Structure 1
């Protein structure tokens, strides 16, 4: 059914059918086309051609501003509506600007190869709000934990720092060294801020479940990632070198460590340079280069925590182990001290990171209404009305008696079904069993980190591909959400190949970064020559 046929059904007041929502999303994603730039535009509006490669693109939370981190020490701000450059900050750092992260709609942070992190106010970019010094190597990534008020930075020096933005000093902000991890490349925070994912140049990912930032440094003070990793490869569950910590114990209630190194056949992953988290925290997509440097892959891993019920079952079969001496009961902060605000334990287990009304799932519905302003009949279903559904890991069973039931009151989603995560053994494997999807990428562009991005509804992955373009990848041909794609897969729970929804050439520009707008149906790609290409839906 075409988009026009669906609209005519709405005009007649007919109810939506199963698959209508998937069809709408698939049509809009496939209709994205790069907007050609007029040749008569002056140089300031040619999108930062003198700023070097666009290393990172980031939208403000309300989607009204786009910030670009540039190779030649610059930060460029754009207006997504007019697609014009608002202003540019030359010499924002003393090195290449690697990443930008918005703290709120006006304040953002940037990190650079000059080993510093800077805070900026978009209303006055003449000076920095603060300069944060602490790293000794290139700072490649920053994340903001809103509930704790912490800015988390990670660099190639292997250090992860937490900066208290609400507790400033003359030198910057109060900060704490959270973790040292040799070979660290990127760290990403889940949207619900209950998990931290780190990727390395040693061919593995590290998940930190039940994240508790106030006790993070103390809980992992004796943790040595490389030692644990080597012993896990030798199938030693609790090595003698780490008896003082229970960081990888299944019974641990906070800051529990898990290593992930299962990759598809033919992918001997070594350098994992790109990492992006699903908007609902269901999975992480990473981009890696194989050991022989001949192949490049995009891989999707499940990062969800195991359910509380199954953890309790495991504890009955395992001898109880005392937590580390540092795991003492935290004293509450005085009233009014808002430095750390953490998610309740029950809320963490629910993992209710559903998309809000401001995200693209609902705005795409508004796009149809804007394209066709006069309409009647039933509206598109809201994803927020659908309950959270856990995925089934590899080699697990479907239990129709104790599962989570999917509501089908509106007649839009697939028939009623139940899926429940169950373990194949009494213990969760500390290494493996997380692989969901994969696809081989081209490795024609060397020397630059090319990162993928999720669409705000999580249905599509935009991945830079070949010399000049990007690929839009989906979990199946119908462009279903991941939990439904996994549930109704013909291959069961085996890892599957991502489906190419559309290839978007951006000639003559080599794409190294991309980002979807959280507010509009808009895909923006950053190129090696400093150009920003705007991709808008063209419905015919």
Structure 2
């Protein structure tokens, strides 16, 4: 694996005038790896053949404002979201028109997730809302939707691969986890009891109602504060693992970030390990002078000690980033096998491993948080890289930068 990932070199670059599409905000491959889609700053979506590096098509007016994210529902259908507050559905077989446009958010839409089991689309935006869309009943006029969750300072939202958890990051440094996720539960009957709000390295609990910087959360007419005793919280966690706790139980954490023990931070990017073992965060300090990539292992099972409930996440690996391109979010990603992380780093990307041998995370979990290993650094851009993505089917990586260039990387022996 080290030889394979260590042999990756820049392959091809595609550059179109920034007068038309501007910066590259996000990249997404189709599940079969046959199409690479590019979300652009100036209302456009670009499509490429990642094997030949040829430009297939430009959706010149995909939205009325910046395109932020792209998500494939299957090999032909994909969704895009925008600062124009809408989500659009597209079919690769007929790209001249949208399948439909979804209206429901009141501010910039930043994230799209999809539950393949229920065929429910999940979106989040800077209005603080997580909205569920029923694509089973989609028409030209849209599809039925409901507000599933709301919190202040919402940045990113992700579902674990098995859709058993929803993770939400905030600009105030909090990470929210909805356990035993049930996307079909209605707001009228759903409740979101808060299990715990705490820093991962502290044994003391932080009550959301007493912290001015904690995000206010709601998912039903009833709001639950974390006023239970440690032993009651232990019972809640233990019963959850026995499968009898309410669905959509909420845990609120302040993840440990190296160098940020006494200062606040903003969680700007959030990704999940492809096997659901860990979460990957990109964090920047509130003073904008430090930026970190951190890996947190999911800790399952009941707490070890009743008086000190164990939180769901433990920091295992980290690395400091270049901290350039301030004000822009850098999107990083796991490889399909989960052994590697591709991270924007200045005018290029870095391939990061958990050890020098590119081992699986579960085979090299440290007792204490350890630095990520730089397997390879790749530089082929003339501006700050904002996003990177692994192909799901080929040994290929794509990256996009602030000036509009898309670069591809693959092994060269």
After TM superposition, the score normalised by the length of structure 2 is 0.86
Q: Alpha-carbon deviation of 1:510?
A: 2.2
2:135 maps to which residue?
165
2:358 maps to which residue?
479
2:341 maps to which residue?
461
Tell me if structure 1 keeps the 8 A contact 2:298–2:313: no
Tell me if structure 1 keeps the 8 A contact 2:89–2:101: yes
SS in 1 for 2:4: helix
1:146 maps to which residue?
116
Cα-to-partner distance string for 1:168-226 (whole Å, 9 max, x where unaligned): 3563100010000100000011111111111001102111121111126456556689x
SS in 2 for 1:27: helix
Selected match of 2:273 from 268, 271, 278 = 278
1:189 maps to which residue?
159
1:204 maps to which residue?
174
Selected match of 2:95 from 125, 135, 140 = 125
SS in 2 for 1:76: strand
1:513 maps to which residue?
387
What are structure 2's unaligned runs of at least 5 residues?
Answer: 211-222, 240-244
Q: Alpha-carbon deviation of 1:429?
A: 3.1
Q: Alpha-carbon deviation of 1:449?
A: 0.7
Answer yes or no: is 1:242 the counterpart of 2:224: yes
Question: Using the alignment, how far apart are the partners of 2:175 and 2:112 within structure 1?
Answer: 17
Alignment of 1:67-106 (within 5 A): 67-106=37-76
Measured on the aligned residues, the alpha-carbon RMSD in Å equals 2.8
SS in 2 for 1:172: coil
Tell me if structure 1 keeps the 8 A contact 2:267–2:282: yes
SS in 2 for 1:28: helix
Tell me if structure 2 keeps the 8 A contact 1:191–1:279: yes
1:536 maps to which residue?
410
Q: Alpha-carbon deviation of 1:233?
A: 10
Alignment of 1:57-76 (within 5 A): 57-76=27-46
Q: Alpha-carbon deviation of 1:459?
A: 0.5
Question: Using the alignment, how far apart are the partners of 2:203 and 2:138 within structure 1?
Answer: 43
Selected match of 2:252 from 233, 236, 259 = 259
Question: Using the alignment, how far apart are the partners of 1:164 and 1:505 within structure 2?
Answer: 42
Tell me if structure 2 keeps the 8 A contact 1:56–1:68: yes
SS in 1 for 2:164: coil
Q: Alpha-carbon deviation of 1:161?
A: 0.1
CA distance 1:484–1:269, shift in 2 (3 Å): farther
Cα-to-partner distance string for 1:328-385 (whole Å, 9 max, x where unaligned): xxxxxxxxxxxxxxxxxxxxxxxxxxxxxxxxxxxxxxxxxxxxxxxxxxxxxxxxxx
2:329 maps to which residue?
449
1:436 maps to which residue?
316
CA distance 1:206–1:219, shift in 2 (3 Å): farther
CA distance 1:242–1:470, shift in 2 (3 Å): same
Alignment of 1:38-53 (within 5 A): 46-47=15-16, 49=18, 50-53=20-23
Tell me if structure 2 keeps the 8 A contact 1:47–1:85: no
Q: Alpha-carbon deviation of 1:130?
A: 0.8
After TM superposition, the score normalised by the length of structure 1 is 0.67
SS in 2 for 1:67: strand
2:372 maps to which residue?
498
Tell me if structure 2 keeps the 8 A contact 1:202–1:271: yes
More helix by share: 1
Q: Alpha-carbon deviation of 1:291?
A: 2.5
Question: Using the alignment, how far apart are the partners of 2:227 and 2:183 within structure 1?
Answer: 17
What are structure 1's unaligned runs of at least 5 residues?
Answer: 1-24, 38-44, 311-422
CA distance 1:95–1:238, shift in 2 (3 Å): closer
Q: Alpha-carbon deviation of 1:446?
A: 1.3
Tell me if structure 1 keeps the 8 A contact 2:192–2:250: no
Question: Using the alignment, how far apart are the partners of 1:427 and 1:83 within structure 2?
Answer: 57
CA distance 1:205–1:216, shift in 2 (3 Å): farther
Question: Using the alignment, how far apart are the partners of 1:483 and 1:271 within structure 2?
Answer: 28
Question: Using the alignment, how far apart are the partners of 2:60 and 2:359 within structure 1?
Answer: 43
Larger radius of gyration: 1
Question: Using the alignment, how far apart are the partners of 1:161 and 1:293 within structure 2?
Answer: 30
How many matched pairs? 385
Cα-to-partner distance string for 1:285-338 (whole Å, 9 max, x where unaligned): 11111132210111111235x23xx4xxxxxxxxxxxxxxxxxxxxxxxxxxxx
Tell me if structure 2 keeps the 8 A contact 1:451–1:514: yes
Tell me if structure 2 keeps the 8 A contact 1:184–1:201: yes
More strand by share: 2
More divergent stretch after superposition (442-451 vs 137-146): 442-451
Selected match of 1:297 from 273, 278, 292 = 292
